[in-house]
Structure 1
Amino acid sequence: MLLRTIRPYFRRLVVAREEVQVVGRQLLLGVWGIHLNGKAQHYAHSYLDHCNELRSLFDEDGLSRANRTEIVELVGLVKHSQHKTIKEIEDEIRKAQFRWMAPFAGVESIRNVLNFAIRLWLFVEPDLSDQTLTLAEVVERTLPRKSQAGRHPKHHRQSKTVSKVKASVFPFAPEKLPRGKDQSLIYLPEDFSEKSLTRKGAIKLEWSSYLSDHLTLTGKSRLRIFRHASAIQGHSKLSASLPYPPGFLQETERTLALLFDPVGKDTSKRTRRIEKKNHVDLEAAIHSLITSDARLDLRTYPYWQERLREICRVYEEAQPKSLRQWWFDRRNRFNWATLWAAIVVFCLTLIFGVISSVTGIMQVYASFRA
């Protein structure tokens, strides 16, 4: 009886694993150029979810009937025509006459098919209302604008050794000074990472398949993170031939390395646990190295500078609301020590009070027995 109950469960697990392997051979390689290996199969679920969500969104346009090979062919057509205008790309899709499309598909259906391909391949939500724009112009409109204050002056660049000497000789160096009301944030705090944001700031992570959602805050407690890092890493190697703004992909990859620091061994283990638990892909962040001088300087993030500044502001303003937060948040050492000293004193007082009460009860009981 037990075997009959467990057998269907294991059968579903085997089917799910085979489905992920198929995704690795077809979608991952055909759409994003990602080679799936045995150790990283867990993050393929995020790409499968992304594809299935889009197929259900455009179900009326026949995409639910398209198999993965046909989806790869559709994306390949868009890749080949990416330097043309939106109107010309739609004409190419109409001429292709895909099996799963209606024989006389209307203008709206063709546009939805192109919308699907762009979302799947480039992780953006395009506005295709202007037919005269190229794909690169459409993509650029969906992404954050480049900050003009993001340039890094030469006289501010320092080597790691010089920075350490400066910090030791001048303990109140400019990057360590507290910010005034009129002084904008230039350097992020040294503990700025996913670990600190979640433990000290009580910020919860949410995962998104769209680059426009990356590093956006929902209220003051939820932070959206782009979940397809390996695709961005693969795209960044071919950035010259892709419709992204110059340097955008490399900077996005560095923001992931900023949050999920690839240097620390414990941090890498924590990142892999997050991957397996949430079915997200952050491997590019683990393998993306960034110098310690540049990783905390907001001027090296022209595209994501304003969002990182807002996250830092929310993080600095966050106050501990639970014992777990009080334990990890040691930014104010005096308050932290005062609180835990009071807790220790309270616990000792309670323990000795209980011992004293028990001793008194035993003495009364002994005298009563005598």
Structure 2
Amino acid sequence: METHELDECLYKYPISATVQNSVIDELWGAEGLDDTGEKSRNISLLSYFDYYAERVQRNLLAGHEFGLQNHADIVWVGQSEPSDMDDAIDLCASLLTMTEVEFKQNLATRLSGRTPLVWEENSLQDLLDHHFAPQTQLCADNGKLGKLFTARNLDRISGISIKWTTNLTDHLRLTDDDRVVLVFQCASFLKLQDSLGRTLLPKSLMKETLNTLALLFPSTDEPTREWLQKQRKSASIDAQLNKCGALRTRERRIENFSIWHDRLVILKQAFDESQPASISQWWFDRRNTVQWYTFWIAVLVFAMTMFFGLVQSVLAAIQVYISYKNIRSGRQLM
């Protein structure tokens, strides 16, 4: 390992491209790549290193001093299992998996609102396999996830806001009285992990999470791409987010998902049960076409009734005015 590139101070920001490439090579080097590994190196991991820098700075601000000074130290800890460096292990485990791994929940995590993965026993692999096991306890009233079920429509139809997260554990979690859904936005990290021959995260997790992103951000949907462009003006969003493909009709069913099954059921239920609260939401809400036509026909009839009523009132006023003028003219002639 050529350490001169990784000897750069851990808390220096921004992290140079040379250091980023060295970190990727050492943490998930050529030994872990499969036949498509070379292609994966062309994927930009800017959002991952934004998370990397933020996670390191948060540990510094929390007062954790565990002797890590440069990126070489991160790589060293990531490749070893020192039993006396809990905070350092938590940090490296988090950076390896983009999950908030902790021996015990600390103040920084509670303040950040992130959901931690508490690692008290067994291996990190066991922890991840257990947490990201299939969750299929809930039943959906309607298992079809139609074309309207996109992040853009969650926002504009049901009023469920999208909040971006870099914590994979929080993906698709509803918060704030079901008015906000957290979405893991680092698609480039998922694609890199999916291309590796060996990874700590379950292979099924990467594929299924990418499918949920293809569901919420279909690459073939031009309005969604335009919506994401607007989102990027106010937030740092992974450029690969709208490059996850698009699911076919038979793939857009809840039973095709296992790890994120229950969260999708809850999110779909919140979407279906939401009622339009504004004229714009009524206009965009095409979930029930009969209801949509009924509402807008009623609005049209009401508008026409008001219009013709107004016209009749105006005509009546004009007639009264003309009659009044005629009466005055007749009196003047007499």
- After superposition, the CA RMSD in angstroms is 3.7
After the TM superposition, which residues 136-285 of structure 1 pair with which residues of structure 2 at under 5 Å, given as runs? 136-141=125-130, 143-147=131-135, 185-218=142-175, 219-238=177-196, 240-281=197-238, 283=240, 285=241
Q: Cα gap change, 1:113/1:228 in structure 2, threshold over 3 Å: closer, same or farther?
A: same
Q: Cα gap change, 1:148/1:332 in structure 2, threshold over 3 Å: closer, same or farther?
A: closer
| 1:303 aligned partner | 259
| 2:79 aligned partner | 80
Contact map agreement 1:202 1:221 (CA 8 A) in 2 = yes
Secondary structure in structure 1 of the residue aligned to 2:155? helix
Contact map agreement 2:171 2:182 (CA 8 A) in 1 = yes
AA matched with 1:217: L
Asked if 1:317 is matched to 2:273, the reply is yes
Number of matched pairs: 285
For the pair shown, which has the larger CA radius of gyration, 1 or 2?
A: 2
Asked if 1:119 is matched to 2:107, the reply is no
Distance in 2, Cα, partners of 1:29 & 1:287: 26
Distance in 2, Cα, partners of 1:190 & 1:209: 26
Give the Å deviation of 1:79. Answer: 3.8
Contact map agreement 1:55 1:64 (CA 8 A) in 2 = no
Q: Which runs of 5+ in 1 are unaligned?
A: 1-18, 82-88, 92-106, 151-181
| 1:26 aligned partner | 19
Secondary structure in structure 2 of the residue aligned to 1:126? strand
Q: Which runs of 5+ in 2 are unaligned?
A: 1-12, 29-39, 105-118, 330-334
Normalized per residue, which structure has more helix?
Answer: 1
Q: Cα gap change, 1:297/1:45 in structure 2, threshold over 3 Å: closer, same or farther?
A: closer
Distance in 1, Cα, partners of 2:171 & 2:140: 26
Contact map agreement 2:218 2:246 (CA 8 A) in 1 = no
| 2:122 aligned partner | 133
Q: Cα gap change, 1:326/1:131 in structure 2, threshold over 3 Å: closer, same or farther?
A: closer
Q: Which residue, out of 326, 330, 349, partners 2:286? A: 330
Percent identity over the alignment is 21
Q: Cα gap change, 1:286/1:28 in structure 2, threshold over 3 Å: closer, same or farther?
A: farther
Could you list the per-position Cα deviations for residues 30-55 of structure 1 after superposition, in whole angstroms to 9, with x for gaps in the alignment? 35888689xx8xx9467426632542
Distance in 2, Cα, partners of 1:65 & 1:183: 48
Q: Cα gap change, 1:126/1:277 in structure 2, threshold over 3 Å: closer, same or farther?
A: same
Distance in 2, Cα, partners of 1:336 & 1:291: 26
Distance in 1, Cα, partners of 2:184 & 2:270: 19
Distance in 1, Cα, partners of 2:141 & 2:93: 37
